[in-house]
């Protein structure tokens, strides 16, 4: 049973909504690509679990927790009655090697060791579980989900699952007896209730309203779409969207990017780059948001 849907990382949302509206620096582009790749890897592993595992289990996708003032992240938590698996999922591609404690690209450049992060999460999770009164053992693993990832010099004891090992891992898990009881559900619900929304370490580009290019951007390729009265067509890839979907989506982007600014029909007309009548905007906003009047003006929340 799945207890929490995987949320798109906040920074990925910022990048997605800003891409096309501002010029991202090479560093920001790299960060965007990394966050996106990481998220895709996590979704792939979720899919693998849901397609392959048959015993009774509880699945929690994406937890940001705090224990004694320290924040830690868990990509995937899989709870069986006799064992808890903590997975951090990596979507690296290509050749890497390990030298002692250090991890490197084949070119020699060092990368941040994913193992250290895993060990830290494991340590803090075990402490938190003890505080919550559970003594079920935790097995931490790094999952390298991409089939084209190679790690040279990896010692056999490394808590790592390579994509080529997932099939055997599935057999192992599926042969394990597990019976989820209410106490396991209570623990899982407790962990979900402790989940924090956003980490203070989250980074995204600076922006302000004036500086952003206005218009409706394409969900597929981030190019601007052109307004064809009843529908919108992407100038980059030709993707089509009906009026309501495109305007609603853009209004939600606006709300996300500018939580402190009021959303009025005029603002959304400018935001979407619509020259014609305000009618179609008002129709969408009235249908999907709450309309509040303030003095002579009004806005939507
Ligand atoms: Zn497009």
- Taking the C-alpha atoms of residue 292 and residue 271, their distance in angstroms, rounded to an integer, is 20
Query: Residue 219 falls within a domain, yes or no?
Result: no
Query: Residue 253 falls within a domain, yes or no?
Result: yes
* Cα 176 from chain centroid (whole Å): 30
Q: Are residues 77 and 177 in the same domain?
A: yes
Query: Residue 220 falls within a domain, yes or no?
Result: no
3-state secondary structure of 22: strand
Q: Are residues 67 and 171 in the same domain?
A: yes
Instruction: Report the candidate in 293, 232, 287, 233 with the shortest Cα–Cα distance to residue 262.
Output: 293
Mention every residue, 6+ apart, whose C-beta is less than 8 A from residue 104. Answer: 96, 97, 98, 110, 111
Query: Residue 203 falls within a domain, yes or no?
Result: no
Query: Residue 252 falls within a domain, yes or no?
Result: yes
- Taking the C-alpha atoms of residue 51 and residue 76, their distance in angstroms, rounded to an integer, is 15
pLDDT value of residue 3: 77
Q: Are residues 242 and 171 in the same domain?
A: no
3-state secondary structure of 2: strand
Q: Find the domain containing 272 and state its range.
A: 225-300
Contact criterion met (CB below 8 Å) for 215 and 224: yes
Q: How far is the CA of 109 from the centre of ligand 1 (A)?
A: 36
Tens-binned pLDDT, residue by residue, of the chain (301 aa): 777 789 899 999 999 999 999 999 999 999 999 999 999 999 999 999 999 999 899 999 999 999 999 999 999 999 999 999 999 999 999 999 999 999 999 999 999 999 999 999 999 999 999 999 998 999 999 999 999 999 999 999 999 999 999 999 999 999 999 999 999 999 999 999 999 987 888 889 999 999 999 999 999 999 999 999 889 999 999 999 999 999 999 999 999 999 999 999 999 999 999 987 789 999 999 999 999 988 778 899 9
pLDDT value of residue 4: 77
Q: Are residues 233 and 180 in the same domain?
A: no
pLDDT value of residue 247: 96
DSSP class of residue 55 equals S
Measured CA distances, 148 to 32, 36, 168 (Å) = 21, 18, 18
Mention every residue, 6+ apart, whose C-beta is less than 8 A from residue 297. Answer: 264
pLDDT value of residue 55: 85
| Surrounding residues of ion ligand 1, Cβ less than 5 A | 218, 220-221, 223, 234, 236-237, 239
Q: How far is the CA of 223 from the centre of ligand 1 (A)?
A: 5
Which DSSP string do the residues of 56-76 spell out, in sequence order? Answer: --EEEEEEEEEETTEEEEEEE
pLDDT value of residue 229: 81
pLDDT value of residue 268: 96
Q: Are residues 159 and 238 in the same domain?
A: no
Q: Are residues 236 and 185 in the same domain?
A: no
Query: Residue 233 falls within a domain, yes or no?
Result: yes
Instruction: Report the candidate in 82, 96, 80, 188 with the shortest Cα–Cα distance to residue 142.
Output: 96
DSSP class of residue 24 equals P
Mention every residue, 6+ apart, whose C-beta is less than 8 A from residue 77. Answer: 59, 60, 63, 84, 85, 86, 87, 188, 191
Q: How far is the CA of 45 from the centre of ligand 1 (A)?
A: 28
Say how many domains are in the chain. Answer: 2
pLDDT value of residue 96: 98
Q: How far is the CA of 225 from the centre of ligand 1 (A)?
A: 7
Query: Residue 215 falls within a domain, yes or no?
Result: no
Q: Are residues 148 and 18 in the same domain?
A: yes
Instruction: Report the candidate in 166, 162, 160, 76 with the shortest Cα–Cα distance to residue 125.
Output: 76
pLDDT value of residue 275: 86
Q: How far is the CA of 285 from the centre of ligand 1 (A)?
A: 24
């Amino acid at each position: 049973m799945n207890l929490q849907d995987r949320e798109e990382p906040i920074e990925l949302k910022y990048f997605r909504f800003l891409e096309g509206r501002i010029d991202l620096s090479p560093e920001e582009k790299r960060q965007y690509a990394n966050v996106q790749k990481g998220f895709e890897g996590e979704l792939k592993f979720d899919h693998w679990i849901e397609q392959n595992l048959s015993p009774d289990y509880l699945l929690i996708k994406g937890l940001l927790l705090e224990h004694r003032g320290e924040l830690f992240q868990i990509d995937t938590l899989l709870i069986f009655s006799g064992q808890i698996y903590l997975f951090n999922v990596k979507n690296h591609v290509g050749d890497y090697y390990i030298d002692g404690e250090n991890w490197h690209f084949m070119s020699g450049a060092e990368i941040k060791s994913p193992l250290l992060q895993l060990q830290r999460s494991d340590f803090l999770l075990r402490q938190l579980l003890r505080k919550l009164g559970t003594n079920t053992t935790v097995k931490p693993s790094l999952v390298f989900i991409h089939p084209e990832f190679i790690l040279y010099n990896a010692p056999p004891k490394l808590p790592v699952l390579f994509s080529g090992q997932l099939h055997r891992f599935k057999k192992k898990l599926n042969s394990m007896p597990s019976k989820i009881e209410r106490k396991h559900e209570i623990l899982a619900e407790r962990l979900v209730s402790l989940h924090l929304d956003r980490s203070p370490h989250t980074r995204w580009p600076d922006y302000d309203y004036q500086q952003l290019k206005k218009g409706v951007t394409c969900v597929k390729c981030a190019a601007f779409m052109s307004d064809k009265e009843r529908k919108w067509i992407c100038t980059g890839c030709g993707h089509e969207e009906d009026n309501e979907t495109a305007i609603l989506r853009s209004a939600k982007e606006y709300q996300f990017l500018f939580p402190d600014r009021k959303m009025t029909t005029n603002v959304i007309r400018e935001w979407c780059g619509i020259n014609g009548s305000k009618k179609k905007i008002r129709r969408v906003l009235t249908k999907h948001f709450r309309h509040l009047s303030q003095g002579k003006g009004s806005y939507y929340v």
